[in-house]
Structure 1
């Protein structure tokens, strides 16, 4: 049969020609179509998330806020406060602090605008004098023509500017709606988050339920550690850069420090952008030398953050490679804009802790995981009965000179 098959280049239609295809090509084809299916599924998930962004973004932000406020709620519960009352106290206190900070920032911004306007006008006069009497040697008519062209451009694009203003107004309405939805979800997460998670885990098959339960809890523990450490780093960044701007006499110190605080929640990229804004304002108001000094202050604070604060505060609980962080932020920015960039790294931290738990833990116990402790984000690699524990036991027996029969395998895998 095989000899006849070699002589005849054409095979009957009923014969299977799979055996004639090289094994490497068959494996590549099998991997290729599976890869295409996975990519299509991921694309569908991303599309659904984008379509439901009005719900997904408030839900994600509520999860971040819950991770930040959960330790405070738990401390009140530990001193015999009912969980509902503890949630109400923490949320009211948080809203009061947030409202006070916003009021203070807006007041400082309004009071600092006149000084900024004066300094900008003075800088524009210096630029104009340099254009007239410096190396360019421009005439007054040329500068006036340029100003007239700028005014004409604004007048010609007045319709688009008005449309942008209306779009901004609708965006403000969406932000207000999202804020209320976030607050509503946060209340339920803080008051009954454990019950919600237990209900969701019931949908998982029983044989892997504990592993999924523990993986989710370790993911949330990683999120708690990340949010807590990032908030501390943001405070240090804002205070350090704010003090430097105040010493240099740069206007709008409080609004700029607040901007730095918010930007710190987007690792690496956020600090660069907000620090660049501070340097630009220093350049306009304090000149080139002042901008260079502010740039040195920003770089110094960023070095303190990356080499001391983040390793000290995040530690092993949220250990992410800088390349993974940058790629996650870039992907989040492309997929979801600013909100995507803000949520990309926390999502990566949760997935990192959850996947490590699924891969390394064989007999997990959900009752042993305290999500408010940094150590809970780490999987227990060597568990009783786990692979590493068996290896350690065999090693100890060999060291004692005793021999033992290897454990018998059952017929079921």
Structure 2
């Protein structure tokens, strides 16, 4: 009787196993991959929801790290002058605020009146482009308006202005900016001691890996922040000089827009270059617009193939597809601010993961040798 009971239990256990093993291997693989994809998709969805809820805080922290990496050489220079850490950090923040206020006041005095003209020129350029499309392609004005409206809705710009939403967004931006300034002061003052405190809590090989990964990630962020600032200035000077030589009006506001657009890789350069071409088309005609387009492409090619590897020294080595995906994801999560911080976050994460993988591969390669 006992043997019969055991036989019955074993047959029950083998029933599902037999049914599973009896399936073709292709079906079993499809089921396993489907389960894995569902788990990964659920995890990514939860991470996305958390990122959306914490977007203002995440953007403030990311912007603080970006500014800290950019201003760290200034703070170290002040420390070499025998200044206390608190005073050096405070002076660095004050210098940043002074530079922002001074540049903002200068730009406002030079371009406040020209930005109204710039919007008018852009509208004229868009209208001439519409006329060219409707004359050249078999597309009517109604069809083109329908396509533009669908694209605007897809990008989330179909709704009207909401005063409550605008006020909430302004409050979030102001709060994030103030939080970033406070965090910037403390990171400049105590950032290295904070990092040493983290390392002191680790022992064994994990401490070595964490130290090297953090050091490489920090160097990558510093190279990206300072390199992007230099490349943005070079792009603005190059395209602005081309606009001046070609006699395109509003060259200074356009160069300023190019400067800020360069902080968003690929997409920012494309959008700001298109704005310069549209203004040239509206003001000086198609020939000048084509010359401006050639100048924009030439400056961007020189930047991507010569200046960027030289300035950043290949510490930020990301494929353009990865950059596009990162910028798109950042834009969907937090708008322009998300697009601004998406690439440096991705570059630092890639550098940290690459360092950890190299450490894991080192013992195996040593054992095989």
Q: Please classify the TM superposition score into its range, dividing by the shorter chain length.
A: 0.7 to 0.9
Aligned to 2:172: 174
Aligned pairs for 1:2-401 (under 5 A) are 12-15=11-14, 17-18=16-17, 21-22=20-21, 24=25, 29-30=31-32, 32-112=34-114, 163-164=161-162, 167-200=165-198, 208-361=206-359, 386-388=363-365
- Asked which structure has the greater RCO (Cα within 8 Å, sep 6+), the reply is 2
Q: Which runs of no fewer than 5 residues in structure 2 stay unpaired? A: 1-9, 136-158
Work out whether residues 55 and 333 of structure 2, in 8 Å CA contact, stay in contact via their aligned partners in 1: no
CA distance in 1, matches of 2:192, 2:94: 22
Larger radius of gyration: 1
Task: Please name the residue that 1:147 is paired with.
Answer: none
Quote the offset at 1:99 in angstroms: 0.9
Tell me if the contact between 1:115 and 1:251 (Cα under 8 Å) persists in the aligned partners.
Answer: no
Find the aligned partners of 2:173 and 2:336 in 1 and give their Cα distance: 13
* Partner SS, residue 21 of structure 1: helix
Spell out, residue by residue over 1:233-291, the C-alpha distance to the aligned partner (whole angstroms, 9 max, x if none).
Answer: 11100111112222333333332222111111111111010111122222222233332
1-side partners of 2:320 and 2:122: how far apart? 38
> Helix, strand or coil for the counterpart of 2:12?
coil
Q: Describe the shift of the 1:117–1:328 C-alpha distance in structure 2 as closer, same or farther (beyond 3 A).
A: closer
The separation in 2 between residues aligned to 1:55 and 1:263, in whole angstroms, is: 23
Residues of 2 paired with 1:167 and 1:344: CA distance?
24
Farther off after superposition, 242-251 or 88-97: 242-251
| Structure in which a larger fraction of residues adopt helix | 2
Q: d(CA) in 2 for partners of 1:279 and 1:164?
A: 32
- CA offset at residue 360 of structure 1? 0.6
Q: Cα distance, 1:16 vs. partner?
A: 5.5
- Pairwise CA distance, 1:31: 5.3
Shift of 1:103: 1.0
Task: Please state how far the C-alpha of 1:28 moved relative to its aligned partner.
Answer: 5.8
- Structure 2 distance, partners of 1:118, 1:186, is 39
- Secondary structure at the aligned position of 2:83 is classed as coil
Distance 1:294 1:169, change over 3 A: farther
**Residue aligned with 2:112, SS:** helix
Distance in 1 separating the partners of 2:91 and 2:74: 10
Structure 1 gap segments, 5+ residues each: 1-10, 136-159, 363-380, 395-413
Q: 1:112·1:251 contact (CA, 8 Å) conserved in 2?
A: no
**TM-score (normalizing by structure 1):** 0.70
1:168 shift after superposition: 4.1
Does the CA contact (< 8 Å) of 1:116 and 1:285 recur in 2? no
Q: CA deviation at 1:30?
A: 4.9
Q: Which residue of 2 aligns with 1:397?
A: none
SS in 1 for 2:314: coil
| Count of aligned pairs | 329
8 Å CA contact retained: 1:241, 1:257: yes
- Give the drift of 1:32: 4.5
* 8 Å contact from structure 2 (residues 114, 253) kept in 1: no
Cα RMSD, aligned residues only:
3.4
Displacement of 1:108 after TM fit?
1.6
